[in-house]
Amino acid sequence: MTVNERLYVAGLMNEFDKAVDEKDIEKVISILKQVDLDTPNTDVILKHHDLIQ
């Protein structure tokens, strides 16, 4: 499953989008862990959303 599919199925899509909009990195990481993403994949998502370099 893609990350978006995982977020949608888990009912976390809106919460994730809100955390990204608010640049709440800790919340984004917490949500991604809830859908079983590991640290390397989480870092890719954070970089994609310009939350880390």
Per-block average pLDDT, block size 10, for the chain (53 residues)?
A: 96 98 98 96 96 93
Q: Which domain holds residue 24?
A: 3-48
* Residue in the structure block whose two tokens are 């079983």: 36
Which is nearest to 43 in space by CA: 13, 34, 33? Answer: 33
What is the reported pLDDT for 8?
98
Pair of tokens at residue 25 = 């990195």
Is 18 among the domain residues? yes
Pair of tokens at residue 17 = 């989008």
Whole-prediction pTM:
0.93
Domain count, the chain: 1
Is 53 among the domain residues? no
Is 12 among the domain residues? yes
